[in-house]
Amino acid sequence: MTEPLRLSKRMSELGLCSRREADEWIARGWVRVDGKVVSELGSKVLPNQRITVERQAAAEQSKRVTVLINKPVGYVSGQAEDGYTPAVALIKPENRWPDDPSPEQFHPTQLRSLVPAGRLDIDSVGLLVLTQDGRIAKQLIGETTSVDKEYLVRVEYTKGGKLPDSDLKKLNHGLWMDGKPLLPAKVRWQNEDQLSFTLKEGKKRQIRRMCDMVGLKVIGLKRVRIGRVKLGDLPVGQWRYLAADEQF
């Protein structure tokens, strides 16, 4: 016998929306199960039942924006902490990249529920995604994400000489963190003091901790790509909208 699931969880699994959006839509009477409106939060469904949403939900979802920012050092990704400013504070008209090709007009309501889809340390720079769209957040930070992220990392070897090839291999695969083996990464030299890291996971301060394990000190760290979306020429401290035809 197949177990029933919470309707909001099932909608998230199907990629229709985030769980929070699902609860909003259910409460508004915008969700149907096998053609019948279900408006009670916590309702359960079987996996074979057909879920549809009203046009208003799709229209509201299409209004939700996703913003790409080139985060400077000194800003935190999420909530304000220890007196540091969150990156969302940079999302204002005067900081919008003048070369942003998107026709989207800025409006203060876009700042509501604009949350980071993934974090970037306070002392790291580069591509940070802030979104109102639960589907994008799930795609980038959900447990089953397959979207990789690329970083350029300036390093200094602390043990004298040069990093041995065996340690470069360990950075690619073989290190453990928090009691678990890390997923395979792609780590290669870009030039004599800069490595490129491509990861499919994002443990807290992962790259800095990986480098530390093999005697490398991180001097600078910049995220340059998330999936198919690149930082490109976006200047530090400026932002642009994710274009309608761009996908991670």
Give the contacts of 146 (CB within 8 A, at least 6 positions apart): 200
Q: Which of 7, 238, 48, 14 is nearest to 135 (CA)?
A: 14
Residue 191 falls within a domain, yes or no? yes
The answer on 220 and 107 residing in a single domain is: no
Asked if 221 and 237 sit in the same domain, the reply is no
Identify whether 246 is part of a domain.
Answer: no
CA distances, 223 to each of 66, 183, 203 (Å) = 17, 18, 14
More confident residue, 3 or 176: 176
Q: Are residues 13 and 45 in the same domain?
A: yes
Quick one: average pLDDT of 206-224? 96
Mean pLDDT, residues 240-245 taken together: 93
One domain, residues 96 and 213: no
Neighbours of 110 (CB within 10 A): 19
pLDDT (0 to 100) of residue 235 = 97
State whether 94 and 121 are in the same domain.
yes
204 in any annotated domain: yes
Asked if 98 and 218 sit in the same domain, the reply is no
pLDDT at residue 16, rounded to an integer: 84
Give 122-135 pLDDT, tens digit per residue. Answer: 999 999 999 988 88
pLDDT of residue 137: 86
How do residues 24-59 score in pLDDT, each as one tens digit?
899 999 999 999 999 998 999 998 999 999 988 877
Instruction: Look up the domain containing 57 and give its range.
Output: 5-62
Is there a domain that residue 220 lies in? yes
Task: Give me the CATH number covering residue 57.
Answer: 3.10.290.10
Please indicate, yes or no, whether the overall pTM of this predicted structure exceeds 0.85: no
3-state secondary structure the chain: CCCCEEHHHHHHHCCCCCHHHHHHHHHCCCEEECCEECCCCCCEECCCCCEEECHHHHHHHHCCCEEEEEECCCEECCCCECCEEEHHHHCCHHHECCCCCCCCCCCHHHHCCCEECCCCCCCCEEEEEEECCHHHHHHHHCCCCCCCEEEEEEEEECCCCCCCHHHHHHHHCCCEECCEECCCCEEEEEECCEEEEEECCCCCCHHHHHHHHCCEEEEEEEEEEECCEECCCCCCCCEEECCCCCCC
Residues 50 and 106 in one domain: no
Same domain, 182 and 132: no
pLDDT at position 1 is 55
Strand order in the sheet with 31-33: 36-37, 31-33, 51-53
Same domain, yes or no: 182 and 214: yes
The model's confidence at residue 113, banded by pLDDT at 50, 70 and 90, is confident
In the chain, the number of structural domains is 3
- Catalytic residue positions, numbered: 121
* pLDDT higher than 80, residue 143: no
Is a pLDDT exceeding 70 seen at residue 118?
Answer: yes
Do 124 and 233 belong together in one domain? yes
CATH of the domain at 162: 3.30.2350.10
Q: Is residue 248 part of a domain?
A: no
| 111 & 215 share domain | no
Handedness of CA 85, 120, 234, 216 (dihedral sign): positive
**In a shared domain, residues 50 and 82:** no
